[in-house]
Amino acid sequence: FGGITACQLWRWEQSRRYCGRCGTKTQPSQAERARVCPGCGLIEYPKICPAVIVAISDGDKLLMARGVNSKTGNYALIAGFVEIGESFEQAVHREVMEEVGIKVKNVRYYKSQPWGFSDSIMIGFTAELDGSPALRLQESEIADAKWVPREQVPPSGGSISIGGELIEHFRLGRG
């Protein structure tokens, strides 16, 4: 992921060559990873967009969804960006309700992973179904979603992504 992070920083530096407030050419900060405007003093830090991803279980079943823009057609976990004023846990509850129309409980932090492809950091969680397992899809984002029995969850390829790691964690009976 080092190369991806380097590309992320390069894109950020290229997009912050001039101050967004006054238009003066910015300079690298000598004290921290930032761009400083000598004209108005604005300090610009690299953009990092927090996003949550959650493995939702109902006993021995895992909720898996396929996004409408999926290029592979593979099923994955529910995920989405954190909105201003939200905690990560609130974002989990909101994204799950918006995308598949269910409630979750016992939301637990798993781990996080930088994801330089989209200037984000993925914050992983596990959660359990709270109530009815009936799904109501947000058709603008989710093409299909289903509860997959543990023994039918396909291998995810391991720990390249936090989503794959969460799927493997469930598939192997660790969560």
Q: Which residues of the chain have pLDDT under 70?
A: 1, 158-159, 175
3-class secondary structure per residue, 143-160 = EEEEEEEHHHCCCCCCCC
Question: What's the CATH number for 49-171?
Answer: 3.90.79.10
How many whole angstroms separate alpha carbon 15 and alpha carbon 91?
28
Other C-beta atoms closer than 10 Å to the C-beta of 150 total 14
Residue 110 has a pLDDT of: 98
Residue 175 has a pLDDT of: 64
From residue 47, give the alpha-carbon distance in Å to each of 9, 29, 75, 96, 166.
9, 16, 28, 25, 25
Residues linked to residue 120 through DSSP beta bridges, in sequence order: 49, 115
Sequence ranges of the domains in the chain? 2-44, 49-171
Start-to-end Cα distance in the chain: 26
